[in-house]
Structure 1
């Protein structure tokens, strides 16, 4: 991925609220799309308000859990 230096300044290193691993989050970047935007969206009920972003591994696990549960609004359904 190619991006300008100013856009890369918006990417921040954060800690996953579930596992504690550090990862780069571009959710606040203006010109850079975060990696998570390529992932299926989670139902609102699965998101804890104010908890922060999940790391790639925890997000994949959560998406798989929702898909297996067959919950209404599950990604890929």
Structure 2
């Protein structure tokens, strides 16, 4: 049996932390939780990469915001 066969449809695993999370990237119509998040800049996206879990996506969005010109340092 494949490992993915035991996970429910829409379940994914974060490539950064390994946590399982719900992903609706391929749902029709597209209605995933990440749609409500601020968009990452194009240079932060990996077209070949997999989706990040909510916690890792929030961290990546925060890093991107700090890297923007004019952003306040931590």
Instruction: Name 1:67's counterpart in structure 2.
Output: 65
Instruction: Name 1:45's counterpart in structure 2.
Output: 43
Of residues 31, 56, 59 in structure 2, which corresponds to 1:58? 56
Q: TM-score, normalized by length of structure 2?
A: 0.74
Quote the Cα distance in structure 2 between the aligned partners of 1:50 and 1:31.
22
Task: State the shift of 1:32 in Å.
Answer: 5.4
Rg larger in structure:
2
Q: TM-score, normalized by length of structure 1?
A: 0.72
Q: Could you say what the CA RMSD is over the residues aligned between the two structures, in angstroms? A: 1.4
Count of matched residue pairs: 61
**Unmatched 5+ residue regions in structure 2?**
1-8, 70-74
**Unmatched 5+ residue regions in structure 1?**
1-10, 72-77
